[in-house]
Chain A
Amino acid sequence: MAGATETDFLVLSGISKRYGGVRALENVDFACARGRIHAVLGENGAGKSTLIKVVAGVVQPDSGSIKLEGVPYQFRNPAEATAAGIVCVFQELSLIPDLTVADNISISAPPKRFGLIDSRAQRRRAEQLLAEVGCEDVNPLLRVHDLPLSRRQMVEIAKALGQRPKLLILDEATSALTSADVERVYALLARLKAANVAILYISHRMHEVDALADRASVFRNGRHIETFDKGARSTSEIVQLMIGRDISTQYPPKPERPRPAPALKIEKLGWENRLQSVSLDVGAGEIVGLGGLDGQGQKMLLLALFGVLRGLTGTITVNGRVVRPGSPSQAKASGVGIALVPEDRKTEGLMLPMSITDNLAIASLKNLLSGPFVDAGKEQRAVEAGIERLRIKVGNRTDAVTTLSGGNQQKVVIAKWLMTEPRIILLNDPTRGIDVGTKQELYRLMRELADQGAAILFYSTDYDELIGCCDRVGIMYDGRIVRELAGADLNETNIIASSLNIDSAGNAPARNEAAHA
Chain B
Amino acid sequence: MHSDFAIRVRQNFGFLTAVVLFCVVYLLYHVSHPKGFSSAVLIQNSNEVFTLAMVAMAQTVPVLMAGLDLSVGALMTMVDCFASYLLSGAAGGTPLNIDVIGIRFSLGTLPGGIPGLLLGLVMCLGIGTLGGLVNGIVVVYGRIQPIIATLATGAIYIGIALHLRPQPGGKIDEDLNWALTNSLGDFASTVHIFHDGAASWFAPFAWIPTPFLLLAVIALIVWVPFKRSVAGRTVYAIGSAEGAAYMSGLAIDRAKLVAFTLGGFLAGCGGVFLAIQTSSGNADIPQAGAYTLNSIASVVIGGTSLLGGTGGAVGSIFGALILRVISFFFRVFDIAPLLQPLFEGIILLAAVSIGALRVLRVKNTLELFR
Same assembly: yes
The distance in angstroms between the C-alpha atoms of A209 and B214, with both chains bound, is 63
**CB-defined interface of B215-238 with A at 8 Å, one 1/0 digit per residue?**
000000000010011100100110
Known contacts A115-B229, A142-B7; decide if A98 and B236 are in contact (CB<8 Å).
yes
Query: What are the residues of chain B within 8 A of A98 when measuring CB–CB?
Result: 236, 239-241, 308-310
Q: Which stretch, B140-148, B242-250, B293-301, touches the partner chain A? A: B242-250
B8 within 8 A of A: yes
Q: How far is the CA of A348 from the CA of B366 in the complex (A)?
A: 9
Among A219-227, A306-314, A381-389, A400-408, which stretch is in contact with chain B?
A: A306-314
Q: A99-B237, A310-B365 are in contact. Are A139 and B247 (CB under 8 A)?
A: no
Q: A146: shortest Cβ distance to chain B, in Å?
A: 8
Shortest distance between the CB of A508 and any CB in chain B (Å): 31
Q: How distant is the Cα of A97 from the Cα of B362 in the complex, in angstroms?
A: 15
Cβ-based interface call for A459 (8 A): no
Chain B 354-370: CB-based contact to A (< 8 A → 1; otherwise 0)? 00000000111110000
Are B8 and A94 interface neighbours, CB within 8 A? no
Residues of A within 8 A of B228 (CB): 116-117, 119
- B340: CB under 8 A from chain A? no
Cβ-defined partner of A271 (8 Å) among B241, B363, B366: B363
Complex alpha-carbon distance, A309 and B365, angstroms: 6
Q: Does B2 contact A (CB under 8 A)?
A: yes
Does B11 sit at the interface, judged by CB under 8 A?
A: yes
Chain B residues near A142 (CB-CB < 8 A):
2, 7
Flag whether B334 is at the interface (Cβ < 8 A). no
Q: A96-B241, A117-B230 are in contact. Are A310 and B7 (CB under 8 A)?
A: no
For residue B326, give the distance in angstroms from its CB to the closest CB of chain A: 29
List B contacts of A108 (CB < 8 A): 248-250
Flag if B245 contacts A96 (CB, 8 Å): yes
Contact between chains at A79 and B309 (CB < 8 Å) = no
- What is the bound-complex CA distance between A92 and B247, given in angstroms? 11
Provide the bound-state CA to CA distance between A325 and B248, in Å.
Answer: 39
Residues of A within 8 A of B310 (CB): 98
Contact check, B241 vs A79: say whether CB atoms are below 8 A apart.
no
Whether the pair A303, B364 counts as a contact (CB closer than 8 A) is yes
Q: Per DSSP, are chain A's interface residues mostly helix, strand or loop, or mixed?
A: loop
**Alpha-carbon gap, A309 to B229, bound state (A):** 39
Q: Is B99 an interface residue (CB 8 A)?
A: no
In contact, A96 and B237 (Cβ under 8 angstroms):
yes
Q: Which residues of B contact A119 (CB under 8 A)?
A: 228
Contact A96 B244, beta carbon cutoff 8 Å: yes
Query: Are B365 and A96 neighbours in the complex by a CB distance under 8 Å?
Result: no
A299 CB, min distance to chain B CBs, angstroms: 10
CA distance A117 to B226 in the complex (A): 10
B10 to A: closest C-beta gap in Å:
8
Which of B225, B237, B364 has its CB near the most chain A CB atoms (within 10 A)? B364
Complex Cα gap A108–B236 (Å): 14
Q: Is the CB–CB distance between B241 and A97 below 8 Å?
A: yes
Given the interface pairs A108-B248, A117-B228, A142-B7, the reply to whether A311 lies near B240 with Cβ below 8 Å is no
One of B4, B236, B250 near A139 (C-beta < 8 A): B4
- Judging by beta carbons under 8 Å apart, are A117 and B249 in contact? no
A99 & B233 in contact (Cβ 8 Å cutoff): yes
Cross-chain contact of B362 among A116, A139, A310 (Cβ < 8 A)? A310
In the bound complex, CA of A308 to CA of B364 (Å): 6
> Within 8 Å CB of B364, what residues of A?
303, 308-310
Q: Kindly state the separation between the CA atoms of A141 and B225 in the bound complex, as whole angstroms.
A: 19
A230 contacts partner chain B, Cβ-Cβ < 8 Å: no
Q: Which residues of B contact A272 (CB under 8 A)?
A: 363
Q: What 8 pairs across the A-B complex have the smallest Cβ distances?
A: A98-B309, A98-B240, A79-B249, A116-B228, A107-B248, A96-B237, A117-B228, A96-B240
A-side residues, CB < 8 A to B, are 58, 77-79, 82, 93-99, 103, 107-108, 110, 115-117, 119, 139, 141-143, 271-272, 303, 308-311, 327, 348
Q: A96-B240, A117-B233, A143-B11 are in contact. List 12 more A-B contacts (CB 8 A).
A: A78-B247, A94-B247, A96-B248, A98-B240, A98-B309, A103-B233, A108-B248, A116-B228, A117-B230, A308-B364, A310-B363, A310-B365
Q: List 9 A-B contacts (CB under 8 A).
A: A77-B249, A78-B249, A96-B240, A98-B308, A108-B248, A108-B249, A115-B229, A308-B364, A308-B365
